[in-house]
Structure 1
Amino acid sequence: MQYALLAYSPAETTDRATRPIPDALAPLLDRPDVTGWTRLHADESATTLRNDEGRMLLTDGPFIDSKEYLAGLILIEADDLDGALATAAELLRTTRPGTAIEVRPILDGRFRGA
Protein backbone atom coordinates (compact mmCIF):
# COMPACT_ATOMS: atom_id res chain seq x y z
CA MET A 1 0.00 0.00 0.00
CA GLN A 2 1.21 3.52 -0.66
CA TYR A 3 1.32 6.19 2.01
CA ALA A 4 1.87 9.93 1.74
CA LEU A 5 4.19 11.44 4.32
CA LEU A 6 3.29 15.12 4.59
CA ALA A 7 6.22 17.05 6.08
CA TYR A 8 5.26 20.19 8.01
CA SER A 9 7.94 22.67 9.04
CA PRO A 10 7.96 25.76 11.19
CA ALA A 11 8.02 29.06 9.33
CA GLU A 12 11.53 30.13 8.48
CA THR A 13 13.31 33.26 7.40
CA THR A 14 15.64 31.60 4.88
CA ASP A 15 14.72 30.80 1.29
CA ARG A 16 13.98 27.06 1.25
CA ALA A 17 14.59 26.89 -2.50
CA THR A 18 18.28 27.70 -2.02
CA ARG A 19 18.83 25.43 0.98
CA PRO A 20 20.29 22.01 0.08
CA ILE A 21 18.70 18.76 1.20
CA PRO A 22 20.40 17.67 4.46
CA ASP A 23 23.11 15.04 3.91
CA ALA A 24 21.40 12.63 6.32
CA LEU A 25 18.09 12.87 4.46
CA ALA A 26 19.33 12.25 0.90
CA PRO A 27 20.08 8.49 1.33
CA LEU A 28 16.67 7.92 2.92
CA LEU A 29 14.92 9.53 -0.05
CA ASP A 30 16.83 7.18 -2.39
CA ARG A 31 15.50 4.02 -0.71
CA PRO A 32 13.38 1.67 -2.85
CA ASP A 33 10.32 2.09 -0.59
CA VAL A 34 10.31 5.84 -1.32
CA THR A 35 8.43 6.02 -4.62
CA GLY A 36 8.46 9.80 -5.04
CA TRP A 37 9.04 13.04 -3.19
CA THR A 38 9.09 16.78 -3.66
CA ARG A 39 9.87 19.88 -1.65
CA LEU A 40 7.44 22.79 -1.76
CA HIS A 41 8.02 26.52 -1.79
CA ALA A 42 7.04 28.48 1.33
CA ASP A 43 3.36 28.83 2.22
CA GLU A 44 3.26 32.44 1.00
CA SER A 45 3.56 31.10 -2.56
CA ALA A 46 0.32 29.10 -2.24
CA THR A 47 -2.97 30.00 -3.88
CA THR A 48 -6.10 28.26 -2.64
CA LEU A 49 -9.30 27.57 -4.56
CA ARG A 50 -12.31 26.87 -2.38
CA ASN A 51 -15.79 25.72 -3.41
CA ASP A 52 -18.25 27.84 -1.45
CA GLU A 53 -21.63 26.30 -2.31
CA GLY A 54 -21.03 26.46 -6.04
CA ARG A 55 -19.05 29.70 -6.02
CA MET A 56 -15.34 29.36 -6.61
CA LEU A 57 -13.30 31.50 -4.21
CA LEU A 58 -9.66 32.27 -4.93
CA THR A 59 -7.41 33.33 -2.06
CA ASP A 60 -3.69 33.90 -1.71
CA GLY A 61 -1.90 31.73 0.80
CA PRO A 62 -2.30 28.25 2.23
CA PHE A 63 -5.56 26.47 2.95
CA ILE A 64 -5.21 26.84 6.71
CA ASP A 65 -3.61 29.39 8.99
CA SER A 66 -0.98 27.62 11.04
CA LYS A 67 2.41 28.10 12.64
CA GLU A 68 3.59 25.22 10.46
CA TYR A 69 3.28 24.83 6.70
CA LEU A 70 3.34 21.92 4.31
CA ALA A 71 6.99 21.78 3.27
CA GLY A 72 7.04 18.58 1.23
CA LEU A 73 5.40 15.34 0.24
CA ILE A 74 7.04 11.92 0.26
CA LEU A 75 5.38 8.84 -1.23
CA ILE A 76 6.35 5.45 0.17
CA GLU A 77 5.39 1.80 -0.11
CA ALA A 78 4.69 0.03 3.17
CA ASP A 79 2.91 -3.18 4.14
CA ASP A 80 0.82 -1.42 6.76
CA LEU A 81 0.54 1.69 8.92
CA ASP A 82 3.22 0.41 11.33
CA GLY A 83 5.69 0.17 8.45
CA ALA A 84 4.77 3.65 7.22
CA LEU A 85 5.18 5.07 10.74
CA ALA A 86 8.61 3.44 11.04
CA THR A 87 9.75 5.07 7.80
CA ALA A 88 8.31 8.42 8.89
CA ALA A 89 10.11 8.19 12.23
CA GLU A 90 13.40 7.47 10.48
CA LEU A 91 12.92 10.47 8.18
CA LEU A 92 11.87 12.71 11.08
CA ARG A 93 15.16 12.07 12.89
CA THR A 94 16.97 13.83 10.01
CA THR A 95 14.82 16.99 10.04
CA ARG A 96 15.18 20.19 11.99
CA PRO A 97 13.40 20.74 15.33
CA GLY A 98 9.72 21.59 15.04
CA THR A 99 9.11 19.50 11.93
CA ALA A 100 6.12 17.15 11.92
CA ILE A 101 5.28 14.34 9.49
CA GLU A 102 1.65 13.39 8.92
CA VAL A 103 1.11 9.87 7.54
CA ARG A 104 -1.88 9.20 5.29
CA PRO A 105 -2.77 6.18 3.15
CA ILE A 106 -3.32 6.98 -0.51
CA LEU A 107 -6.79 6.21 -1.84
CA ASP A 108 -6.98 3.14 -4.06
CA GLY A 109 -3.48 2.24 -2.86
CA ARG A 110 -1.82 3.91 -5.86
CA PHE A 111 -0.42 7.33 -6.71
CA ARG A 112 -1.59 8.47 -10.10
CA GLY A 113 1.38 10.56 -11.23
CA ALA A 114 1.92 12.41 -14.46
Structure 2
Amino acid sequence: MIPLGAVEFSPADIALILAVLTLGATALALPATLTLAWVGARRGRNHPGWTALWYWFAGTALCLTTTALAAGNGLGWWAVPAGWVPTLLLAAALEPHWPRKRARLGVHDNRWQGER
Protein backbone atom coordinates (compact mmCIF):
# COMPACT_ATOMS: atom_id res chain seq x y z
CA MET A 1 0.00 0.00 0.00
CA ILE A 2 1.32 3.44 -0.91
CA PRO A 3 0.81 6.13 1.71
CA LEU A 4 -0.98 9.12 0.25
CA GLY A 5 -0.57 11.43 3.23
CA ALA A 6 2.41 13.16 4.75
CA VAL A 7 5.40 11.02 5.60
CA GLU A 8 6.03 10.92 9.33
CA PHE A 9 9.43 10.10 10.76
CA SER A 10 10.11 9.03 14.30
CA PRO A 11 12.82 10.84 16.28
CA ALA A 12 15.09 7.81 15.81
CA ASP A 13 14.59 7.97 12.03
CA ILE A 14 15.43 11.69 12.00
CA ALA A 15 18.55 11.06 14.09
CA LEU A 16 19.67 8.31 11.71
CA ILE A 17 19.08 10.47 8.64
CA LEU A 18 21.02 13.36 10.18
CA ALA A 19 23.89 11.06 11.20
CA VAL A 20 24.17 9.61 7.68
CA LEU A 21 24.07 13.08 6.11
CA THR A 22 26.70 14.43 8.52
CA LEU A 23 29.07 11.49 8.03
CA GLY A 24 28.64 11.64 4.25
CA ALA A 25 29.26 15.38 4.17
CA THR A 26 32.32 14.98 6.39
CA ALA A 27 33.70 12.32 4.06
CA LEU A 28 33.11 14.57 1.04
CA ALA A 29 34.89 17.44 2.81
CA LEU A 30 38.06 15.43 3.51
CA PRO A 31 40.14 16.75 0.59
CA ALA A 32 39.90 20.29 1.94
CA THR A 33 39.90 19.54 5.65
CA LEU A 34 42.90 17.22 5.53
CA THR A 35 44.81 19.95 3.70
CA LEU A 36 44.02 22.36 6.51
CA ALA A 37 44.98 19.73 9.10
CA TRP A 38 48.33 19.28 7.36
CA VAL A 39 48.90 23.03 7.59
CA GLY A 40 48.00 22.86 11.28
CA ALA A 41 50.53 20.08 11.84
CA ARG A 42 53.21 22.19 10.19
CA ARG A 43 52.30 25.24 12.28
CA GLY A 44 52.09 23.40 15.59
CA ARG A 45 55.42 23.73 17.35
CA ASN A 46 54.87 21.96 20.67
CA HIS A 47 51.93 19.67 19.88
CA PRO A 48 51.51 19.30 16.11
CA GLY A 49 48.98 16.46 16.44
CA TRP A 50 46.58 18.45 18.60
CA THR A 51 47.01 21.53 16.41
CA ALA A 52 46.23 19.45 13.33
CA LEU A 53 43.13 18.02 15.04
CA TRP A 54 41.80 21.49 15.92
CA TYR A 55 42.51 22.77 12.41
CA TRP A 56 40.65 19.74 11.04
CA PHE A 57 37.62 20.42 13.28
CA ALA A 58 37.56 24.09 12.29
CA GLY A 59 38.00 23.24 8.61
CA THR A 60 35.22 20.66 8.78
CA ALA A 61 32.82 23.15 10.38
CA LEU A 62 33.68 25.80 7.78
CA CYS A 63 33.41 23.35 4.88
CA LEU A 64 30.10 21.84 6.01
CA THR A 65 28.59 25.27 6.62
CA THR A 66 29.66 26.53 3.21
CA THR A 67 28.43 23.35 1.51
CA ALA A 68 25.04 23.63 3.22
CA LEU A 69 24.71 27.28 2.20
CA ALA A 70 25.70 26.47 -1.39
CA ALA A 71 23.25 23.56 -1.50
CA GLY A 72 20.53 25.84 -0.15
CA ASN A 73 21.18 28.19 -3.06
CA GLY A 74 20.47 25.41 -5.54
CA LEU A 75 23.97 24.42 -6.66
CA GLY A 76 23.22 20.71 -6.35
CA TRP A 77 26.36 18.54 -6.35
CA TRP A 78 28.46 21.59 -7.23
CA ALA A 79 27.95 22.62 -3.61
CA VAL A 80 30.61 20.10 -2.54
CA PRO A 81 33.57 21.67 -4.39
CA ALA A 82 32.14 25.12 -3.64
CA GLY A 83 32.34 24.20 0.04
CA TRP A 84 36.02 23.36 -0.34
CA VAL A 85 36.95 26.85 -1.55
CA PRO A 86 36.96 28.76 1.79
CA THR A 87 38.77 25.95 3.59
CA LEU A 88 41.45 25.69 0.92
CA LEU A 89 41.86 29.48 0.87
CA LEU A 90 42.28 29.43 4.64
CA ALA A 91 44.89 26.67 4.32
CA ALA A 92 46.78 28.71 1.72
CA ALA A 93 46.67 31.81 3.91
CA LEU A 94 47.88 29.95 7.01
CA GLU A 95 50.64 27.98 5.26
CA PRO A 96 53.86 28.74 7.13
CA HIS A 97 56.60 30.22 4.98
CA TRP A 98 59.61 30.21 7.24
CA PRO A 99 62.88 31.43 5.77
CA ARG A 100 65.33 28.71 4.94
CA LYS A 101 68.13 28.20 7.34
CA ARG A 102 71.48 28.98 5.86
CA ALA A 103 73.94 26.16 5.73
CA ARG A 104 76.62 26.25 8.38
CA LEU A 105 79.99 27.16 7.05
CA GLY A 106 82.19 24.17 6.80
CA VAL A 107 84.49 22.24 4.55
CA HIS A 108 81.71 20.96 2.28
CA ASP A 109 79.69 24.12 1.85
CA ASN A 110 81.33 27.45 1.15
CA ARG A 111 78.60 29.17 -0.84
CA TRP A 112 77.94 31.75 1.88
CA GLN A 113 81.52 32.37 2.79
CA GLY A 114 82.35 35.26 0.48
CA GLU A 115 85.66 37.08 0.30
CA ARG A 116 87.50 38.22 3.39
TM-score bucket (shorter structure): under 0.3
Structure whose CA Rg is larger: 2
More helix by share: 2
TM-score between both structures, scaled by the size of structure 2: 0.26
More strand by share: 1
TM-score between both structures, scaled by the size of structure 1: 0.26
